[in-house]
Amino acid sequence: MKLVRDDKIDYHLKYADRSALNKLLEQKGENDEVIIIKNGMVTDCSIGNLIFFDGHNWNTPDTPLLKGTQRKYLLDKKLIRECNIKEEDIFKYQKVGIINALLNKANMIVLQTENIF
């Protein structure tokens, strides 16, 4: 995953125009996906919300671009915690998971944070 920055991006509605996301994806280079940083804060990736594992708990940024349904479900069930995750905090975590309506905690995509550039 590659870190990309956009301090103006707005994608709070699921049916919104994805052109801003597509523009950020163009910056991924050889990487498979991007992590979007807005105003120094971790938000989402282009296909879903992010959750980060610290060795004990899974945490999700409190600054998502889109408050997805899977994210809400996991928060409501207390399977993840919402917290402030700054760009520089990413490497304090061991793993990052991608969740969305089709990717729940059991079948999510998981990467080691050492694979984030």
How many domains does the chain contain in total?
1
Domain holding 90: CATH number? 3.20.10.10
pLDDT (tens digit per residue) in 49-95: 999 999 999 999 999 999 999 999 999 999 999 999 999 999 999 99
Range(s) of the domain holding residue 35 = 2-115
- When pLDDT is averaged across residues 22-45 and rounded to a whole number, the result is 95
CA distance 30 to 36: 16
Single pTM value for the model:
0.93
Give the CA-trace dihedral at 89, 106, 11, 31, to 10 degrees: 60
> Residue 14: is its pLDDT beyond 60?
no
Can you give the pLDDT at residue 7? Answer: 96
